[in-house]
Amino acid sequence: MADLRKRHGVHYTPVALASFLAERVARQTGERALRVLDPACGDGELLAAFAKLVPDAELVGYDLDPDAVDAARARLPGAVIEPGDFTVAGAALPAGSFDVVITNPPYVRTQVLGAAAAELSARFGLRGRIDLTHPFVASVPRLLADGGVLGLLCSNRFLTTKAGANVRELLTGELDVREVFDLGDTRLFEAAVLPAVVVAVKGPPAGAAWFASVYESDVESPDGDLFTALTKDTASRLSVGGRSFQVDVGTLAHGGGHPWRLSTPERERRLIRVADRTWHTLGDLARVRVGIKTTADPVFIREDWADVEPELLRPLLTHEDLSAWTPPRESRMRVLYPYLDQPRRQVIRLEEYPRAAAYLLGHRERLQARRYLIDAGREWFEIWVPQRPALWREPKIVFPDISPEPRFAIDRTGSVVNGDCYWIAVPELGEDVAHLVLGVANSGFGTRFYDEVCGNRLYAGRRRWITQYVARLPLPDPATPAAREVIALARLLTADADRALLPRLEAAVRAAFGEVE
């Protein structure tokens, strides 16, 4: 069962969450006869939850798993439950034939979909990286009658990622989004995905949508009911099962391809003030690059190299080597980097490096299995994402991909940066602006800006510090007195990491953006 769930993205809906989604959908339907569809019904939990609220509803479900179909049929004897792939079967259903679509579609990423991803993208008019949720959502607007309601439970990744733009556009194209609930790290599923709930109505926009989010907090809180807190008019803290949570509420801000985010009057005033004092965003000034991705780390990355030419081995920084402010030391980890040290990337000739050739040939079967690399016209022994070798020697800002707190530092060791980190070439910024970046990024202001504008958090408060978010970091004019103080303090902090300077840095960053206490 675990393998089935991983391969097909199957994560059955918990009873309490199914009841919550059904109740939010039923609030939008009004008093009328309903025809209800779940295109990935599993054992029928969502249909059953809706039937408890609207007993006369006509229920229709589809699922690939024959055992799930049998279970749903036994559970819902009056329903029509069909076996099959809804991404195919849905095309045969008449337009406007359902009053409600309530669903927890499968979540299968592009890498697992393989060649099917391109076919699904073409068939459903999707762009970029997709997961299997996307074609399911793409089917909904055509199938809903005017005024029909969608109740969607899916990974919250669509709220903030570039790939999620497909779903964001689908939900706002022909539908009026009424409610969004980002359920964050509540761990309501036995899965790596963090859930979100969306309720939308077929028709033109009718006003601002409700938005609530919940994430774990380190503030001890009284016991409470999570689903009640999500619909309260004010933010709150509560404890569920021994874990404390912060619940924030407001309205949905979206548009322009940007992540969906929670909006409140206070947040909007703050963002306007920040925008007025933003000189440039980081992405205006420099590229934010991911580190190397070998897609065969056990072959290319080791500490105990003794069997290849040393000139092909380079020190490799990983997330374990990085902390805020402190310049990283040269790592003991080494990467076999099969490129010449030239301004432009040039792959080595194996015959000129016999020891490396013998080593790589010993792993040829594994390396050649990376068909995507061969199909791209690359050598079988290359690194999938190697970046430009000559840039490694220059000073660079480095930071981990995933971390609860910002951990930006400047590396001057010339090390290669691993794919679990990102980096920015200091010469693209200049030393002063590079230290200004460190000052803003490592501050409490920078973390709050991330949470309010980008907001991609994982379990236990971990944040994703990736290009699309870090590039949006605002920077004040470096010529202003407050920004000059940020630069000076950042230089001191990188020199000796004296944490006693941090309160002064925080005050200087806030002052640079007009936040004077």
Convert the pLDDT of each residue in 148-160 to its tens digit. 999 999 989 899 8
**58 CB-contact burial (10 Å; exposed 0-12 / middle 13-18 / buried 19+):** middle
Residue 312 pLDDT greater than 70, yes or no: yes
List the alpha helices (DSSP H) in 424-480: 431-441, 444-449, 467-470
pLDDT digits (tens, 9 = 90+) for 241-252: 888 999 999 999
Is-contact 181 200, C-beta < 8 A?
no
pLDDT for the residue numbered 119: 77
Question: What letter would DSSP give residue 12?
Answer: P
Is residue 147 over pLDDT 60? yes
Distance (Å, whole) CA 110 – CA 130: 6
Closest CA to 81 of 93, 72, 92, 91: 72
Q: Are 409 and 284 in contact (CB under 8 A)?
A: no
Torsion-angle region of 9 (φ positive above 0: left; ψ -120 to 50: alpha; else: beta)? left
Average pLDDT of span 22-42: 90
- How far apart are alpha carbons 83 and 39 in whole angstroms? 10
Distance CA(425)–CA(394), nearest Å, equals 7
Cβ-Cβ contacts under 8 Å for 11 (sequence gap 6 or more)? 5, 104, 107, 189, 190, 191, 193
Q: Given CA atoms 359, 379, 420, 430 in this order, what sign does their dihedral have? A: positive
Q: Please give the structure tokens belonging to residue 222.
A: 């009284």
- Total Cβ atoms within 10 A of residue 464: 20
* Higher local confidence (pLDDT), 135 or 511: 511
Where in the chain are the domains?
A: 2-202, 289-350+383-512
Tell me the HSE value of 449 on the side-chain side, using a 13 A CA sphere.
27
For 98-124, the pLDDT digits (tens) are 999 999 998 755 455 566 777 777 777
Per-residue pLDDT reduced to its tens digit, 280-302 = 999 999 999 999 999 999 999 99
User: At 391, is the pLDDT very low, low, confident or very high (cuts 50, 70, 90)?
Assistant: confident
Measured CA to CA in angstroms, residue 92 lies from 44, 58, 89, 134 at distances of: 22, 19, 6, 18
* Predicted confidence band of residue 82 (pLDDT cuts 50, 70, 90): very high
- Calculate the alpha carbon distances from 158 to 148, 152, 343, 478 in Å: 22, 12, 38, 35
Instruction: Name the range with the highest mean pLDDT among 9-23, 121-135, 235-249, 411-425.
Output: 411-425
**Cα separation, 74 vs 42, whole angstroms:** 12
Query: Where does 232-322 have alpha helices with state H?
Result: 265-276, 282-285, 297-300
* 112-121, 146-155, 355-364, 374-383: the lowest-pLDDT one: 112-121
Task: Say yes or no to pLDDT of 70 above 50.
Answer: yes
Burial class (CB in 10 A: 0-12, 13-18, 19+), 340: middle
Say which residue, 499 or 209, is predicted with more confidence: 209
Q: What is the pLDDT of residue 2?
A: 39
Contact residues for 256 (Cβ-Cβ < 8 A; gap 6+): none
Range of weakest confidence among 110-124, 220-234, 407-421: 110-124
Residue 7: pLDDT band (50, 70, 90) is very low
Among the residue ranges 116-120, 180-184, 251-255, the one predicted with the least confidence is 116-120
Q: Is the pLDDT of residue 3 over 50?
A: no
Residue 1 clears pLDDT 60, i.e. is over it: no
In this predicted model, what pLDDT tens digit does every residue of 258-284 receive, in sequence order? 889 999 999 999 999 999 999 999 999
Q: Which two tokens stand for residue 109?
A: 């990423």
**What CA–CA distances, in Å, run from 41 to 54, 59, 100, 112, 272?**
17, 10, 13, 21, 44
According to CATH, the topology of domain 2-202 is Rossmann fold (3.40.50)
Nearest to 227 by CA among 437, 18, 449: 18
Place of tokens 């010529």: 479
Instruction: Give burial (CB, 10 Å; 0-12/13-18/19+) of 378.
Output: middle
Decide: helix, strand or coil at residue 250: strand
Residues 464-483: pLDDT tens digits?
Answer: 999 999 999 999 999 999 99
- What is the reported pTM? 0.85
Burial of 504 per CB tally in 10 Å (0-12, 13-18, 19+): middle
Give the span between the Cα atoms of 480 and 439, in whole angstroms.
Answer: 14
Q: Are 422 and 293 in contact (CB under 8 A)?
A: no
CATH 1.10.150 is held by the domain 289-350+383-512: no
Q: Is 79 helix (H, G, I), strand (E, B) or coil?
A: coil
High-pLDDT (> 90) share of the chain, %: 71
- At residue 11 the predicted structure's pLDDT band, cuts being 50, 70 and 90, is low
Taking residues 186-193, what's their average pLDDT? Answer: 66
Bridge-based pairing state of the strands 144-155 and 98-103 = parallel
State how far the alpha carbon of 445 is from the alpha carbons of 30, 84, 327, 407, 440, in Å: 45, 50, 22, 14, 7
Q: Which residue has the higher pLDDT, 324 or 31?
A: 324
